Amino acid sequence: MEGQDDLGVYKNYWFSGIADKAVFKLAETGPVPLPGCNGVERNVLYQRAAGIQAYGLVDRDAVEDSALSCTPDDSLFLSENMNKNPNIYYTLRWELENYLIDAVAWEQERVNSKTRGDGRRPAEEVMVEIFCHCDILVAHAAANALLHSLGKPKIGDGFGTKVDTRADFEDLLFAGPFKGLSAADIADYSSWKQRIEAFDLPHGTVEQRVFAISRRIHGKALLERFFKKYSIQDDKRFSVASRISGRIPQEIALRVAEWVQGN
């Protein structure tokens, strides 16, 4: 695994029931003590060479410097990454938190924190709210892609959490981190937005659209926006991970099951 949070979710919440069949480990604690994506890649190669059936899980954001990170073609994304190393799986969604999107769980966390469980909204209504946040976060992801390409500091996950429209979010961008950018840079920003919007499914259901666009927006920022709107400050990642442990995202569940069965 790339990081402590990934390890915690996979080992302690989602796959604790198969501890006798699979050991989840942090890359930097492996025989090649390197963190992150490089650590995963190097450790899988090293352990495979030693006869250990090792596999790696890497978030999509690890390939952000590759054009592949911005292809909405899942088959192409998976096949190209599989060609690099068939024992390392690069997730379709941007980061771990993108797999924690769950309208029922998020709404339960909201009412537990604010109303002692009263006033729970239908999942469909909550998903509409989540999609509105996703639309704003297209600008967030595009801004970070541009700033990264320019060698400038990225904006944080909490940037612009108090605004409710993409237009207002972009006003903050141009008043702050985009101040002084050239016309060419701004054109690049527009191009990044188009590439990220290409992940959307305009004719799908709201839920389908959320999961489609979540392949490229930043999940940490989405979680922060949703809960900060209700003045909920504590980190909800692990409580959400626990709530959805009985409905682990199929992409991840199938991949881990395939590896375990292969053993």
Q: What is the pLDDT of residues 66-121, one digit of tens each?
A: 999 999 999 999 999 999 999 999 999 999 999 999 999 999 999 999 988 899 99
Q: What is the dihedral angle through the alpha carbons of 61, 66, 71, 76, rounded to the nearest 10 degrees?
A: -100
Q: CB-based burial of residue 123 (10 Å sphere; 0-12 exposed, 13-18 middle, 19+ buried)?
A: middle
Angstrom distance (rounded) from CA 214 to CA 211: 5
- Tell me the CA end-to-end span of the chain in Å, nearest whole number: 18
Query: Pick from 115, 119, 161: which is nearest to 140 by CA?
Result: 161
CB 194 within 8 A of CB 73: no
Residue pair 4/51 in contact by the 8 Å Cβ criterion: no
Q: Which tens digits make up the pLDDT trace of 228-251?
A: 999 998 899 999 999 999 999 999
- For 129-146, write each residue's pLDDT tens digit: 999 999 999 999 999 999
Whole-prediction pTM value? 0.96
pLDDT at site 263: 59
**pLDDT tens digits along 58-77:** 999 999 999 999 999 999 99
Contacts of 242 (CB under 8 A, 6+ apart): 13
Q: What percent of the chain has a predicted confidence (pLDDT) above 70? A: 100
Question: How would residue 262 be classed by pLDDT, with cut points 50, 70 and 90?
Answer: confident
